[in-house]
């Protein structure tokens, strides 16, 4: 922890010394995309995408779970997605799952979440999975597809997808190899980006 504190304490010195980053931070943000992924420390969106400060609007939850949309139901996820789409006007939504996801594994083997009943309830109640894509052998992929299905039902997302003003991407990151693949809804397959 101390190294994190030390870095934060001197962060302003590095910002003022780096003109490009300082300019980005001072000008405000106009992100290229919204990146929804797991809170897992192994997944680092800026490293995976090469995004510079200000280029990604991020939403991170345990297991990159997106709750089903329900009118009048307030959730952090719904509010953050709404802000990205309605206010920032992002044109691309990326949901990125990953291998060796502790949350998804916890849903499969619920005994591993005995000490985290809220997490277990959340994972069990927020969605149903489709069958895993043939040959994938990884529940994380089916889990990702379920999140994409729910995101498509958010009214603003649905309208913008229908009008072509928004694109939805399902990415899958393999933490051991760094390979990122893309979900193809028309075939149900994951193919290299």
Question: Cα 26 vs. chain centroid, distance in angstroms?
Answer: 26
Nearer to Zn ion, 38 or 151 (CB): 38
Decide whether 106 or 133 has the Cβ nearer to Zn ion. 106
**Inter-residue contact 36 to 97 (CB < 8 Å):** no
Q: Which two tokens stand for residue 49?
A: 């995408």
Residue 191: strand, helix, or coil = strand
Q: For residues 58 and 82, which CB has a smaller minimum distance to Zn ion in the complex?
A: 58
CB 170 within 8 A of CB 145: yes
Residue closer to Zn ion by CB (options 138, 160) is 138
Smallest distance from Zn ion to CB 86, Å: 27
173, 174, 165, 140: which is closest to 65 by C-alpha? 140
Angle at 185 between CA 183 and CA 190, to 5 degrees: 25
Task: Give the nearest distance from C-beta 189 to Zn ion in angstroms.
Answer: 22
CB of 54 to Zn ion, least distance (A): 25
44 φ, ψ (degrees, to nearest 5): -125, 95
Contact in structure between 64 and 147 (CB atoms under 8 Å): yes
Positions in the binding site for Zn ion (CB under 5 A): 38, 40, 101
CB of 63 to Zn ion, least distance (A): 5
**Smallest separation (angstroms) from Zn ion to the CB of 14:** 30
Length of the chain: 193
Identify which of residues 45 and 85 has a Cβ nearer to Zn ion in the complex: 45
């Amino acid at each position: 922890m101390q190294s994190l504190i030390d870095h934060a304490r001197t962060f302003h010195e590095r910002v003022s010394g780096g003109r490009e980053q300082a300019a980005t931070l001072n000008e405000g943000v106009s992100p290229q995309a919204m990146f929804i992924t797991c809170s897992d420390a192994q997944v680092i969106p800026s490293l995976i995408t090469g995004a510079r400060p200000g280029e990604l609007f991020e939403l991170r939850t345990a297991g990159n779970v997106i709750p089903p949309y329900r009118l009048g139901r307030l959730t952090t996820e719904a509010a953050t997605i709404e802000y990205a789409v309605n206010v920032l006007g992002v044109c691309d939504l990326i949901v990125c799952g990953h291998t060796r996801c502790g949350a998804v594994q916890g849903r499969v083997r619920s005994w591993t979440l005995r000490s985290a009943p809220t997490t277990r309830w959340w994972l069990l109640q927020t969605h149903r999975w489709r069958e895993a894509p043939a040959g994938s052998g990884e529940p994380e992929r089916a889990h990702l597809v379920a999140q994409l299905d729910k995101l498509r039902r958010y009214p603003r997302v649905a309208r913008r997808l229908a009008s072509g003003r928004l694109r939805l991407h399902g990415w899958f990151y393999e933490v051991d190899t760094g390979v990122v693949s893309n979900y193809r809804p028309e075939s149900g397959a994951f193919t290299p980006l």
